[in-house]
Structure 1
């Protein structure tokens, strides 16, 4: 008997939904992912748990990171995310702090991140995690220079820069003070 609320059961349902949303048959998905049709069928029926390698292949075909796909099968998100429960990640060497104010979740296309860059710090991203992702950067304190699609923008306190990210991006805090900004990420 299957536990209808287990992660494996929800993952199986999500994988099936991703395929049908695209109008693909199991044969088409098998061709694209390089995974046998019978394995895909068993995965979608919840008879088999995917290996990391197979899940990675499916994530590539569906244009998702594995963490994003797994977030999509979690239970409904809490409506209130208390500050003390917002995940914070620090890159001390780069002088960057990232707070996930409203973490990503299945069924929700947007998330809000708070970023803080020390004066003189810079961070680069080699490519868009999801091509065409929409981003809005609202500077709350200081100034940040953001380069997108080869164009540099100086974004000062109170300003908002919005763009669709399709390639590399670069954030730099020219100083003399740190910069703090809100970043809204909206999936295409």
Structure 2
């Protein structure tokens, strides 16, 4: 949902997400400068994301989630409507980071208090996303490849997953998701809070 032109009105999800980011920072009494120091993201980038002038990348949201102690799904669920027990496919929130070739579908019904969640991820061939830290240290992840191939590096160990393979790990540090191609990859990510 990244906007190419700055003169376009903010996307509704980006606007709600920006407002929630402002609330989270205000709840802690932090200035933009303090948040920049804690997250390693520039003040200008944070300001533009809070004002919904840009659609945040997956890497930026990951850094903010780490600072605020939330998973990405928790943060995104906080900008959605009231929680539901069943979430129909047509109603599932889809977020796209076109710059990195990453599409993320929140499969689980959103709820701020959830401990486990399912996410569908898609990466285009050649896409490479690096996260410098997990949103929550010790986060448990199960990555099940539905189609294509996925390389995941965690704790300096690279794992290659092909269709049908599943990797379980706890995330303590940097991770990298890469689609070696030649096809795109589609996978399920099950996330469990520690």
Normalising TM by the smaller chain, what interval? 0.5 to 0.7
Measure the CA separation in 1 of the matches of 2:183 and 2:81: 40
Residues 115, 183 of structure 1: 8 Å contact kept: yes
What CA deviation, in whole Å up to 9, does each residue of 1:51-77 have, x standing for no partner? Answer: 7545136999984479947957x9973
Equivalent position of 1:4 in the other structure: none
Selected match of 1:95 from 101, 121, 130 = 101
Identify which range, 61-70 or 135-144, moves more after superposition. 61-70
Unaligned runs of 5+ in 2: 1-22, 31-64
Selected match of 1:164 from 166, 170, 173 = 170
Measure the CA separation in 2 of the matches of 1:141 and 1:67: 23
Equivalent position of 1:55 in the other structure: 27
Q: TM-score, normalised by structure 2?
A: 0.61
The root-mean-square deviation of aligned C-alpha atoms, in Å, is: 3.2
Residues 152, 159 of structure 2: 8 Å contact kept: yes
Selected match of 1:80 from 86, 91, 101 = 86
Aligned length: 139
Measure the CA separation in 1 of the matches of 2:68 and 2:106: 24
Equivalent position of 2:187 in the other structure: 181
SS class of match (2:141): strand
Residues 134, 162 of structure 1: 8 Å contact kept: yes
Equivalent position of 2:133 in the other structure: 127
Measure the CA separation in 2 of the matches of 1:119 and 1:68: 28
- Match runs of 1:14-163 below 5 Å: 53-56=25-28, 63-64=69-70, 68=74, 77-163=83-169
Q: TM-score, normalised by structure 1?
A: 0.63
